[in-house]
Structures are given as structure tokens and as C-alpha cells.
Amino acid sequence: MNLNRTLLALLLAFSLLSLGFGAAPLTLREVIAGLFGVGNEPQQLIIQQIRLPRVVLAWLVGAALGAAGAALQGLLRNPLAEPGLLGISASAGFGAVLALYFGATTLSLWLLPTVAMGFALLATALLYALTRVGSTNLTLILAGVALSALAGALTSLALNLAPNPADLQDIVLWLLGSISDRSFDDVRLCAPFVIIGLALLFSTAPALDVLALGEDEARTLGVDVVQIRGLIIIGAALAVGATVAVSGTIGFVGLVVPHVLRRFVAYRPGQLLLPSALGGAVLVLAADVTVRLIDTPKELMLGVVTALLGAPFFLALVLRSRRDLL
Amino acid sequence: MNLLNVSACSVQIGEHTLVQPLSLRLAAGELLGLIGPNGAGKSTLIKAIAQLLPYRGTMQLQNAAMETLTAQQRARQLAYLSQNDPVHWPIAVQDLVSLGRHPFRGSWWRGAGQLSAADDAAVETALRVTDVWALRQRRFTELSGGERARVRLARVLAVNAPLLLADEPFAALDPRHQLQVMALLREQCQRGASVILVLHNLTLASRFCDRLLLLNQGKLVASGTPSAVLNAENLRRVYGIEAVTGEHAQQRYLVPWMCATD
């Protein structure tokens, strides 16, 4: 499809830009040489050990958030559904904080993403239960607000009781969301879950199209609504939970990307999944490059920037659909 | 041979019995109307037949027990139009109607845009007979109520199922389109399909249905030809109304006239 090709091209362009850009600017030729392991050694190291993990992480985080947003919107038949707004990211963040600062990570490295995904799963399932019957925008957002507040409160409680107060600033900064200073260890930690999660989400695409007719008619067309719901809840929880575990919470990607791309797939919710994954990756990558471009005394956190751009966008969306909300 | 056999089916939700045990048979080519006042259990019954609600009793579709059919087999044989499930995205009319071909898709990875020639033909026919062919590029959300109703009907017709279940497809339709929809459903019967229709309009019910089931508070009160079911006694007892009847072009007509005085 043309749209997907365009997004792939954009993704490639931003990836090369991100690899070349930094304290030691590299030319395109040097970037490509570094990627293929030729050329001068320090440059190879910069590319492969420092910048490439960051780029790959941006792909994973963006694809996970974009696809999860699109899939949740299709399932709930609501354009305001988004992992961040609905408290799924916040719940995963709470799980990660629990695992991180109560020492669980010393038991096993995998415990961090596992706990984060577990809480994301819990939040998504709870959310679905809350909004199942007559999900209007209002009930959905209220449920999301409630969940976010709960996850936020529990996170605060965990911070409050954290055994080592010196770590507090680190936790808070980490929660803001960033993909800087990450290594391939982080990529390895989240990639399998993101890939499985995306596969689960993509498998629901044809059914999501049919779900536009409402659950009853979709069921009579042979769609197993219970199964689709399960696949999306588990897929979104795996993908979002795993990325939150390595990058903190990065909001609004899942809201903005499907919204912008929807018109290019003729508003069909199933067709929106793949472009949203690609578009999410492009957006996170672009935002990450922007974060590094802006010269601030302390490096801006990616999650802060996406929230600063995403929140007004969300407001505009609400404004436009306020008749529906009231 | 009966297309559909429903025996001793009842629907219970929690403590409430919404439909008392009832049986019905539907022959191929038959147009059956489900009538009754609000809360009679019409929609509940049609949903149970569509396998959307749990029920007690047995149902057979073309001599196969309903529960032995796979979801896809069932979806090819039974098409259901819900009363007022809104369409949630501004999807183009043609794409929307094409969703009716979902049960005929191959594997799940076949792109939703790829339809076979047979699929395309079924979609085109459905768009044309419902008079929405000209609207096929428009977005569903831009349409008027009447246009939406016809597009949703087209989506159901696109399945080409032998059994059509429609829950009040007239709600937003003007008289011309009401008559058009009834004629359309009759046509479906002529090509061998059977239709179960929930409707409130007794004039249309008496004119177009082969047979009527009259429900009241979850109970089957009467079944038979329209003139047998819609007699003065039933109208007064179940609906609390009196009707004017007469004959036009050798057909009996019925118009609800006034509230019954008791």
C-alpha cells in the first residue's frame, strides 16, 4: 500500500537522521559505514552501541503505542481510546516502579517487563469491563481518568514508601519517559513482547473492520468478539507494558497517530493498524530527534514533549466531539 | 422442508423470563412477522435466533442443529440486522456493505479490500436493490436516517443468506421507502430466502407477511395468517386498540384506528 510505503520511507529517513545526529555529527556515508561495521572504529561504536539502540527502541515504542491505540479505538469504537489516556501506560508504570524499587529486578531481569505487562493487562481488562455496556466517550474517558488516578496514586504511594529515597528523583525522571542512554539490553528486554503483542493486534485487523457494525452484527458475521477482545487486551498490554518497562510512559502517540492516518485508510479500523504502527515509530523517532535538537540546559524528556504536543491535540479533539461527550 | 425449526425455546436473563417456551417453523421462501407491543420479547426472540443470546431449547437451521455449525457456516446462512446498532466510523457505503461478505473470506490474512468477483457482484446487487448504488462513495455518517437504514439493509442482503433476520428496519424510513423495503424483503422470499421481521407497523404486517407471530409479555399469544392473528379480539386484548379493516384490490388492509375503551 502506498501509505505504508510512504511511512516506511519516512521511518528510514528519520532513522538515518537520528543515527547521524548528536554530539559528534556524522555524515550519511559515515552512518552507513558504521552500520555495516566498516570505517573508523569510534564512529562504529557510536553508531552501533549508542545511537542504534535508541533508534530501534524508538521503533518499538512508537509501533507498540501506535498499534495499541488504533486497536483499542477499533475495539471500543471510540477515537479517544489511547493507552496513555486510558491509564494503561500509568498502570504499567506503576508495575515497573514496584518491580524496580522494591528490588525485584535483582531476582530476574525479566521481572520488570513481566510486572509492567501484568499491570497493563489488569488495567486494560478492567477498562474493557467498565466501558463494555454503552461505551460513550464520556464513560470511556472517565474510566481512563479513574484508572490513571488510581495508578498515579499507587505509584506515589510506592515512591512514598520506597526504601531508598535517594532514588526518588531517578524514578520520577524515568517515569517521564525517555529512550536516551538505552542499550541493546533494553531492546532485547522489550522486543520479544512488543513483536508478539503487535502480531496479536495485527491478527485482529479483519475483525476490527467488521466490528464497526457493532458487536451484535459482527457476531452474526462470524466474528468471535470474545476472542478479538482477548487478543487486543493481551496484545496491547504486552506491547505497551514492555515498552513502558524500558522507556517510561510516553503519552498521546496512540491518540494522535491513528487520528491523523485514519482518513488515508478510508476510516476502516482494521486497515489502520499497520499504518499506525509505522506512523507511531515515525512520530517517536521524530520527537526524539527534536528533543535532541532543542538546546536546553538539561535534555528534554521524550514523554514530556509528546505530552506537550499531544495534550492540546487531545483538547482539540474533545472540543470537536463535545456534543458527543455531553 | 423447513429452513428453521425452533422447538421449545425460552430466553431467560437472570431471574427474568423474557420469552416463554415457544416453537416455530419457517419454510423456505416465507416472510414471518414478529409483532407485539413494546416489551413483548420480539427483539429478544430474534436475537436468540441469531444466536446472540443464550436460550433453552433447540434450533435447527437447514436440518443441522444450530450449535453444530461453526461461526462461519452460521454466518453464511443467517444474516441479522440489529435494531439500532450505530455504525461507528465514517466508512464509505461500499466498504460498509462489503463487510457483509466477511463470512466468505478465506484466511484471516487476506486483505479486507480484496473481494472475489462473486463478492463484488453480491455487493453491487445489494447496493442496487436497496437504491443506494448512487451513494456508494459517500461516507455512512454523512447520510440521512433513511439512507442509513437502506445501507444497513444492503449490508445484510450482501450476505445472500437463506435466512434473514431484521429487527425493525423501518424506524427511520418514509412511507415510500417502507414499502420499498417490504417489497425488497418479499423479493428475497421469492428467490427462496426466508425472512423473520420484527415490526410495529400492523398495516405493513397484515399486507406483506405470510404469517405472523403475536407476542405479549414474552408469551406467544397467536400465530397464523395476518387476518387470523390480527382479529379484533387480539388487537383489543394485546394492543388495547381498535382497527379499521377493509379490502382493496382483493387484499385485506388494516389500519390501527383508536385506543380501545374497556
The verdict on a CB contact (< 8 Å) between B88 and A212 is: yes
The CATH number, out of the four listed (3.90.850.10, 3.30.365.10, 1.10.3470.10, 1.10.460.10), of the domain defined by the range A3-325: 1.10.3470.10
Among A253, A316, A264, smallest CA distance to A286 is for A253
For residue A326, is pLDDT > 50?
no
pLDDT the model gives residue A136? 62
C-alpha grid cell, residue A235: 496484545
Among B97, B87, B81, smallest CA distance to B195 is for B81
**In DSSP terms, which residues pair with B128 in a beta bridge?**
none
Residues in chain B with CB shorter than 8 Å from the CB of A267 are 89-92, 139
Task: Band the pLDDT of A223: cuts 50, 70, 90.
Answer: very high
For residue A278, is pLDDT > 90?
yes
Average pLDDT across chain B, whole number: 91
pLDDT the model gives residue A162? 72
| Cβ neighbours of residue A48 closer than 8 Å, sequence gap 6 or more | A34, A35, A37
How far apart are the CA of A324 and the nearest CA of chain B, in angstroms? 12
pLDDT the model gives residue A110? 80
Q: At B36, phi and psi to the nearest 5? A: 150, 160
Percent of chain A with pLDDT over 70: 93
For residue A323, is pLDDT > 70?
no
Best residue in B80, B99, B151, B156 for a mutation probing chain A (most A CBs within 10 Å)? B99
The verdict on a CB contact (< 8 Å) between A213 and B155 is: yes
- The minimal CB distance from B112 to the residues A209, A216, A220 is found for A209
* Residue A176 or B206, more confident: B206
- The minimal CB distance from A220 to the residues B52, B95, B108 is found for B52
pLDDT the model gives residue B109? 52
Read off the pLDDT of each residue in B51-74 and give the average, rounded to a whole number: 94
pLDDT the model gives residue A174? 77
The verdict on a CB contact (< 8 Å) between B91 and A212 is: yes
Read off the pLDDT of each residue in A282-305 and give the average, rounded to a whole number: 88
Task: Band the pLDDT of B257: cuts 50, 70, 90.
Answer: very high
DSSP string, A182-241: --HHHHHHHHHHHHHHHHHHHTTHHHHHHHTT-HHHHHHTT--HHHHHHHHHHHHHHHHH
pLDDT the model gives residue B113? 52
Read off the pLDDT of each residue in A107-123 and give the average, rounded to a whole number: 85
For residue A143, is pLDDT > 90?
no
pLDDT the model gives residue A325? 43
Average pLDDT across chain A, whole number: 87
CB atoms within 10 A of CB B104: 18
- The minimal CB distance from B82 to the residues A77, A216, A224 is found for A216
Residues in chain B with CB shorter than 8 Å from the CB of A73 are none
pLDDT, tens only, B3-53: 999 999 999 988 889 999 999 999 999 999 999 999 899 999 999 999 999
Question: What distances in angstroms separate CA B50 from CA A31, A269, B158, B196, one per listed residue?
Answer: 60, 25, 17, 11
Closest Cα in chain A to B151: A213
* CA A171 to centroid of chain Cα atoms: 19
Segment B103-110 long-range contacts (CB within 8 Å, at least 24 positions apart): B103/A221, B103/A222, B103/B72, B103/B75, B103/B76, B103/B159, B104/B76, B105/A206, B108/A203, B108/A205, B108/A206, B108/A207, B110/A206
The verdict on a CB contact (< 8 Å) between B112 and A203 is: no
